[in-house]
Amino acid sequence: MLAAAVVAAVAAGIWWDNGGQHWLAIHTGTCPVDAPCDSGPGPYYQFHSGFGSYFPWSLLTLGGVAGWLGLHWRHINCHEPGCWRIGHVRIDDKGTLSCWHHHPEGRPQPGHILRMHQRHEARIRR
Partners of 97 in the beta sheet? 90
The answer to whether 78 touches 85, Cβ cutoff 8 Å, is yes
User: pLDDT tens digits for 54-78?
Assistant: 777 778 888 899 999 988 887 788 8
Q: How confident is the model at residue 44 (pLDDT cuts 50, 70, 90)?
A: low
Question: What's the pLDDT tens digit per position in 8-29?
Answer: 999 888 887 777 777 777 667 6
Residue ranges of the domains in the chain? Answer: 77-126
